[in-house]
């Protein structure tokens, strides 16, 4: 499949301004599969610590903000329900690894066309993640929609100097249905830089890691001129399907564009720009942060009563 500049507006899918931009590829009325390639000026081991630190810090910040605002447990943006080692899994990932289970309250982030049909008590998703770095799998469930909603994210992190064309070993059929999107965290094409310069990678300089000064297309420079900074790729294979007549294309494209693509950019910027905060930390240091986040959200490994739906919809999805 040919490549271009990430995400051409897909008017051909009949959704006008709602269309998600992607590599030009076949139009299919089935699960929307997008593979994101994200170059990062770190080694995979650095990325591992940075990613865990970013997730723990972001969870702590959200939990503390909710606590300061006296938000009820049911309305808090995130509940960390489980965070523990796993020794077996059904996804073919290496054992052992780390298993996490989180509940996200998405009411404030849903587009109007989705919020209009979702009761407030059901506007959440449950995330299940198996981390066997450098490979991971994350799945999401939206109890309101049951099996009509499918969202999985497979991740591979590798010290590649150029993006691999088929890192996940997809079949010919899967490759024909896949769209590929290269995300440059130094570009404002999709996500403008925040007013807070601490999350602008073009202004980033790390004293501890002795690197910085990266600009748009930095990965090309790294390969062509043997730059002083390392280079790796985060590969994210996102499969999203929403089987509801009249809304499938809209929801799938909105989810890929705003729930996935834009958040991947934001989180990558944070991992890199916060390097002086996590550089030199050990795995034990970061696990302690995770424990603090879990404790602050008030969840325990057996505290699952909040998955009960408060509506008469049958009980049995967005990412990082």
pLDDT digits (tens, 9 = 90+) for 47-87: 999 999 999 998 888 777 766 665 555 556 788 889 999 99
- Lookup: tokens for 111: 């587009």
SS3 annotation, 134-152: CEEEEEEECCCCHHHEEEE
Q: Is-above-0.85 flag for pTM?
A: no
Side-chain half-sphere of 308: how many Cα atoms within 13 Å?
A: 5
Q: CA 293, CA 63: separation in Å to the nearest integer?
A: 7
* Full set of structural domains in the chain with CATH: 8-307 (3.30.530.20)
**Residue-wise pLDDT tens digits, 6-55:** 433 332 333 222 233 343 344 445 678 999 999 999 999 999 999 999 99
Helix (H, G, I), strand (E, B) or coil at 60: helix
Sign of the four-CA dihedral 163, 168, 170, 174: negative
User: Which residues are CB-contacts of 209 (< 8 A; sequence separation ≥ 6)?
Assistant: 46, 275, 276, 279
Contact 160, 222 (CB under 8 A): no
- CA-CA distance, 9 to 18, in Å (whole number)? 9
DSSP secondary structure of 239-272:
EEEE--TTTHHHHHHHIIIIIIIHHHHHHHHHHH
Q: What is the pLDDT of residues 223-270, one digit of tens each?
A: 766 667 899 999 999 998 876 655 555 666 666 776 799 999 999 999
Torsion of CA 42, 48, 54, 55, to 10 degrees: 150
């Amino acid at each position: 499949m040919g490549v271009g500049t990430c995400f051409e507006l897909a008017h051909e899918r009949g959704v006008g301004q709602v269309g998600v931009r992607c590599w030009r590829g076949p139009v299919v009325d089935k699960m929307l599969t997008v593979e994101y390639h994200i170059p990062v000026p770190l080694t995979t081991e650095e990325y591992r610590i940075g990613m865990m630190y970013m997730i723990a810090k972001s969870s702590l910040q959200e939990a503390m903000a909710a606590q300061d605002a006296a938000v009820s447990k049911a309305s808090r943006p995130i509940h960390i329900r489980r965070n523990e080692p796993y020794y077996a899994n059904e996804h073919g990932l290496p054992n052992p690894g780390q298993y996490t289970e989180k509940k996200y309250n998405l009411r404030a982030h849903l587009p109007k066309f989705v919020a209009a049909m979702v009761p407030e008590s059901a506007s959440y998703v449950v995330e299940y993640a198996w981390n066997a770095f450098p490979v991971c799998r994350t799945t999401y469930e939206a109890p309101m929609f049951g099996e009509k909603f499918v969202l999985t994210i497979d991740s591979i992190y590798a010290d590649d100097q150029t993006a691999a064309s088929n890192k996940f070993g997809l079949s010919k059929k899967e490759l024909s249905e896949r769209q590929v999107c290269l995300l440059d965290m130094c570009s404002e094409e999709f996500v403008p830089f925040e007013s807070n310069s601490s999350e602008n990678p073009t202004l980033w300089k790390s004293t501890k890691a002795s690197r910085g000064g990266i600009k748009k297309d930095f990965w090309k420079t790294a390969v062509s001129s043997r730059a002083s900074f390392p280079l790796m790729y985060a590969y994210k294979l996102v499969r999203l399907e929403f089987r509801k007549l009249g809304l499938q294309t809209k929801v799938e494209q909105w989810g890929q564009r705003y729930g996935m693509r834009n958040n991947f950019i934001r989180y990558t910027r944070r991992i890199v720009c916060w390097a002086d905060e996590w550089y030199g930390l050990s795995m034990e240091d970061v696990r302690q942060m995770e424990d603090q986040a879990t404790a602050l959200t008030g969840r325990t490994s057996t505290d699952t009563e909040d998955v009960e739906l408060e509506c008469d919809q049958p009980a049995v999805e967005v990412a990082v």
